[in-house]
Structure 1
Amino acid sequence: MGCCNRRCGLIAGAVFGAVVAILGGALIPLGKSVIEETVEKEVVIEPGTTAYDNFVSTGAKVYRQFWFFDVQNAQEVLQTGVSPVVVEKGPYTYRTRYLPKENITFDPNQTVSFMLPMGAIFEPSMSVGPEEDKVTSLNLAVAGAYSKVPKVVHMVLEKLIKATNSSLFQSRTVNEMLWGYHDPLLKGTIGLFSPYNGTFDGKYNVFNGKDDISKVGMINKWQGKRTLNFWNDTYCDMINGTDASSFPPFLDKKKPLYFFSSDICRSVSASYEQSLNLKGIEVYRYTLQPNTMASPTVNPDNHCFCKDKESTKNCTLAGVLDISACKDDNPIYISLAHFLHGSESLYDSVKGLNPSKEHHVTYLDVEPTTGFTLRFAKKIQVNMMYGPSKVITVFKKVKDYTIFPVVWMNETATLDDETADMLKKELISRIEMLDTIQKALLGTGVVIFALCLISYCMVRRKQSLIV
């Protein structure tokens, strides 16, 4: 009778274990559904959601750090035509994007429109010196005029340069180079980012994700248009992805992330590189790929980004993007910092550059379930071009077209501890708790079932031997 009760108990235990395991297994799809529903509710851009709070005003502090390329041999370049030798000087740090979005309007087609105000506040404690520090750099007005003025009127430009005592290089303060100064040649204000304070980026129109979560944050229009008009090509003028502050939830490592940057006047993509732990939160790191700025001979998709065949060596030059079409025809060339992934000729033209993937790559650290970008570093370099001239004195010794690096910047932000704790408490911890319960039920049930089944078999075997 005792053996019978023991066998019955083991059978009951096995059944109980099986039921618990089945319950744990059944919770997996149910739990996944609950997680998806919770996340989708919180990432929709509408008042009351986690996404909306971050959408209106960035919680993390955003900084722009600038490193200038200080010319060490300006007179030698002018007198003998040797390559400029530069030394990196920086960082000079400014806090940006501290102003909330303006004119937020919810449209009937499940989109939301807004304007992004621009502003910069100098941060002395994060800089190597004051804004009054001087750098010897390219004369923006002279280089700009050289690119804009046809060769047939170089004599006129020569007279203006001499009359204003201008030269190929100049010494200016950091503040002047970035935000503007009165130039005698142009008789107006010129600066790398002038005007900036008090201006706006946009108008943006993005999908709020309410009717289709896979489109949340995707740019529908920029400046009232669904495509750009800079490149005169359907492919290059496409506006793809988000503004990189967030992406649709439930990331797939195999798929790249697309985003549009008004700084470089085009859309780009970033690919998964590795998983990291950021303040207790798993993030996927995405980086720009080397072929992003490759020449069309290597990456045919870039054929329509090549505008000036003369200075880009018939579109074989890698690493630079002529964005003059979207910068009022100012001869601005964008590249990665220190011409990372650029052609060797770029380093031959200017000495002192040291590209490094560790220090100069652009990356995004994105939380994979929500699609929120929790840390990023956008690193781009502003360059200008100049070349030889038989008429203009300051260019007579120049042997070939030179794309000169003026400054590179790192726009960066990392979520703060308070936001990290909120995300872990309100969202990630709940997801992890549900996942733990599922695994615990499934694991416990399987163990109970296996132990009871093994014990039952052992009891049966022992009983049969006795008989």
Structure 2
Amino acid sequence: MMIQLSGSSLFQTRSVKELLWGYTDPMLRGPLGVFHPYNGTYDGPYSVFTGKDDINKVSTIDSWKLEQSLSYWNDTYCDMINGTDGSSFSPFLDKKTSLYFFSSDICRSVSADFDGSVDLKGITVYRYMLPSKTFASPVDNPDNLCYCTNTQTTKNCTLAGVLDVRVCKGSPVLISLPHFLHGSKDLLELVHGLDPNPEEHFTYLDVEPITGFTLRFAKRLQINMMYGPSKDIKILNKVKENTVFPILWLNETAVLDDDTAQRIKAELFSRIDTLETVQIALISAGAVILVLSLIGVCVVNRRSRISYVA
């Protein structure tokens, strides 16, 4: 009835720009779009530590939107704002230590684990990846229990691979990795055409270990909505149970340019190499002086013994 009264249609033809950044829906009589109203906006302000008093806290978020914790999840643990914004971390990274960063897109903090060293334009960087437990069900990862706010959507908190962000976004949106990577089998079986591939669908950070700067990253997320059985809408009359349907997935990727890579190698690594060369030279000179001194001591002692005998 609402569709008929508004003169609209269930199926509409829209441009990519309208779908992403918004259009006026005739039935809702308001703007509707995947990224509306994010175009031309920012998610701050952030207050971060400079590292002046503690180098290990450099770039760590102290507060976001003037608050030191979130208010979405009604839980102290899940409402914590941990780590940085992902653009940089404290210097001299330890492979055994996970990196933490906060993402306002998914309304929570996450961690990334060391996966290996890779070469980026002649610079060795540490690759950190989101672990599979990030969107795991509370059955496998009890720490995620406080993110389970809708038992119907998550099948009594047993569904893995999706995060219900209605509490912070205000709309019934479920966030996951593309193609429900690391998700429950139910998510893949109920929708045809899905093919999760870790090489294409995982999120990672490539961080230079000395400076802690992120030199390349790929943030990949999928936006989903849940639909249930409906006899009134033909497109949904074959849906037999509540099903999470993918709307789109996005790949936000950035990498340092060639000029910046050359400058980093020239101003950072060349000086480190110079210091190492000087260090080796000083150690070698010290060793030579020590050996000569020992030889000199031995020669003097020997002459003294010869003189005493004579």
The answer to whether TM tops 0.5 is yes
**Count of residues paired in the alignment:** 294
How far apart are the structure 2 equivalents of 1:170 and 1:400?
Answer: 25
Q: Which segments of 5 or more consecutive residues in structure 2 lack a partner in the other structure?
A: 295-310
Structure 1 residues 190 and 387: CA distance shift in structure 2, 3 A: same
What is residue 249 of structure 1 aligned with on the other side?
91
How far apart are the structure 2 equivalents of 1:443 and 1:285?
Answer: 36
What is residue 304 of structure 2 aligned with on the other side?
none
How far apart are the structure 2 equivalents of 1:409 and 1:393?
Answer: 29
Q: Name the SS of the counterpart of 1:202 in structure 2.
A: coil
AA in 1 matched with 2:140? V
How far has the Cα of 1:396 moved from its partner?
A: 4.2
Of 152, 158, 163, 1:310 maps to 152
How far apart are the structure 2 equivalents of 1:437 and 1:191?
Answer: 59
Matched, 1:194 2:36: yes
Of 167, 183, 188, 1:342 maps to 183
Q: Which segments of 5 or more consecutive residues in structure 1 lack a partner in the other structure?
A: 1-158, 454-467
**Sequence identity, in percent?**
62
Of 212, 220, 228, 1:379 maps to 220
What is residue 225 of structure 1 aligned with on the other side?
67
Structure 1 residues 443 and 162: CA distance shift in structure 2, 3 A: farther
How far apart are the structure 2 equivalents of 1:389 and 1:214?
Answer: 54
Q: Name the SS of the counterpart of 2:126 in structure 1.
A: strand
What is residue 240 of structure 1 aligned with on the other side?
82
What is residue 363 of structure 1 aligned with on the other side?
204
State the Cα deviation string for residues 150-179 of structure 1 (Å, max 9, x = none).
Answer: xxxxxxxxx224544533x54432111111
Matched, 1:413 2:250: no
How far apart are the structure 2 equivalents of 1:324 and 1:225?
Answer: 20
What is residue 321 of structure 1 aligned with on the other side?
163
How far apart are the structure 2 equivalents of 1:162 and 1:294?
Answer: 42
State the Cα deviation string for residues 167-217 of structure 1 (Å, max 9, x = none).
Answer: 3x5443211111111112211110000112222211111111112211111
Matched, 1:354 2:190: no
What is residue 430 of structure 1 aligned with on the other side?
271
Structure 1 residues 443 and 198: CA distance shift in structure 2, 3 A: same
Q: Name the SS of the counterpart of 1:358 in structure 2.
A: helix
Q: Name the SS of the counterpart of 1:172 in structure 2.
A: coil
What is residue 98 of structure 1 aligned with on the other side?
none
- TM normalised by structure 1 equals 0.59
Q: Name the SS of the counterpart of 1:201 in structure 2.
A: coil
Aligned CA-pair RMSD? 2.3
How far apart are the structure 1 equivalents of 2:204 and 2:234?
Answer: 43
Structure 1 residues 194 and 385: CA distance shift in structure 2, 3 A: same
How far has the Cα of 1:254 moved from its partner?
A: 0.2
Structure 1 residues 447 and 341: CA distance shift in structure 2, 3 A: farther
How far apart are the structure 2 equivalents of 1:386 and 1:436?
Answer: 65
How far apart are the structure 1 equivalents of 2:118 and 2:285?
Answer: 30
Pairwise mapping of residues 137-216 of structure 1 onto structure 2 (< 5 A)?
159-163=1-5, 164-167=7-10, 170-216=12-58
